[in-house]
Structure 1
């Protein structure tokens, strides 16, 4: 509490741009989830660029450590890392993590097998007899988390690419993923013919907000959360979040040897 008080006092008295050197260093667990987080991308990906710059606004330096998602989640809960980048807002996660203020808002959509899948939907109950692919360890939103829990037709795979392959091969009928990640992955990893075998359906599932996840119960958790939220506020006021979003749409955050033409979406 004393450290939090001192940090709050510093932030209140010193303009953000006056921090010439880091007074605090954090280690943040992350995962490979292009184009939002990836060690192969500029600035470690779009979300990590925002996180690093938000902390820098408050004089905090960040080191990202890339791990498989479930390992990153468990290691952060054990206190090995100060925070986790990143997670969608899911209420059940609030028992163990603080959600930062929203970093971005994205559209969660359903991809379906173009031949076997439905052309539209209105309620999750309509989809209960379909084979739905899910990525292990992911909580998409509260409604889907509840749907997954009690549905025997949900098939979990290790990653999004495997789910798309299963969708193309007709092993599953439907797969939820955020729209940009799905489009990006299909462009990078699959042929034009394979991409014709899948499509999105309307309406989109929901708008999901992304957050830095800070583990509860550690000595500095409230401090880390406060520093990040303060820095994120500064980025918003300075117009940098708008700039970073533009860079995302222009294709700045991508693998240098596997570039994707975002204008062809």
Structure 2
């Protein structure tokens, strides 16, 4: 009887998942995620296809990143895409298998001398920009909290890059691909990218994940997502999406 009941409940849950779209909070971080990008960007394209392989439809709700996380926390959405590794978040949320890899670097003006550095505290004479809601590294957050790094927060990456160009901040850590694409966009004056360079030493290497609230039902749902993601890797779809990203075909309008 118990075995029959468990099977019936599982079938009911699977039928619900197939019939109802999962609402996933997300934000703008081109070319990885974006409402105006084809497929919603590389990461959200992967998220949609991985769930589709498991018979689950999804819909994305675009919000500022801090609100995207809060909507997951308060149950307004079933999942959130996408977030970097963070031990604090990992205590509260379920993390998927890695979806994407990101090399974050320090952007700065070419005419701003940056001293040789081995650790972030070596740069305590400079002003950093940060974007509200982002994870960053444990070291960066600790140094900022202790007042050992001067960090100014802004609402989005565009504002931070404009502040960098204007000399209001000295350094801005950002995904290398995202930063250069943004600087070359219509959001900036022509030639803005010629005024900017990056540090060779990476700020961090991060991995993007889908997040869900902790519960037995979500643990099963996350397992299905990871299974779908594994199928994309195994049949070459994930690599094809990655090639699309780097060739610039099918990822932007």
| TM-score over 0.5 (shorter chain) | yes
1:107 aligned counterpart, secondary structure: strand
Matches within 5 A, 1:170-189: 170-188=167-185, 189=187
Count of matched residue positions in the alignment of Structure 1 and Structure 2: 245
Counterpart-to-counterpart distance in 2, 1:216 and 1:166: 38
Aligned to 1:213: 211
Structure 2 residue ranges without an equivalent (≥5): 1-5
2:180 is aligned with 1:191: no
Q: CA deviation at 1:181?
A: 0.5
Counterpart-to-counterpart distance in 1, 2:219 and 2:74: 16
Aligned to 1:71: 67
Counterpart-to-counterpart distance in 2, 1:147 and 1:58: 43
Two-structure CA RMSD over aligned residues (Å):
2.5
2:158 is aligned with 1:161: yes
Aligned to 2:117: 121
Which one of 37, 52, 57 corresponds to residue 56 of structure 1?
A: 52
Which one of 32, 35, 44 corresponds to residue 40 of structure 2?
A: 44
Task: Report if the CA contact (8 A) 1:117-1:173 is conserved.
Answer: no
2:206 is aligned with 1:202: no
Task: Report if the CA contact (8 A) 2:131-2:157 is conserved.
Answer: yes
Q: Deviations over 1:53-88 (max 9, x none)?
A: 000111111111111111111111111111001001
Q: CA deviation at 1:50?
A: 0.1
1:22 aligned counterpart, secondary structure: helix
Larger deviation: 153-162 or 246-255?
Answer: 246-255
Task: Report if the CA contact (8 A) 1:42-1:252 is conserved.
Answer: no
Q: CA deviation at 1:148?
A: 2.7
Q: CA deviation at 1:32?
A: 1.5
Task: Report if the CA contact (8 A) 1:88-1:141 is conserved.
Answer: no
Aligned to 1:95: 91
Q: Deviations over 1:171-228 (max 9, x none)?
A: 11100001111011011132343222211012112211000011224x6221221111
Aligned to 1:259: none
2:125 aligned counterpart, secondary structure: coil
TM-score by length of 1: 0.85
Q: CA deviation at 1:146?
A: 2.2
Q: Deviations over 1:104-136 (max 9, x none)?
A: 111011111221241643211111221000011
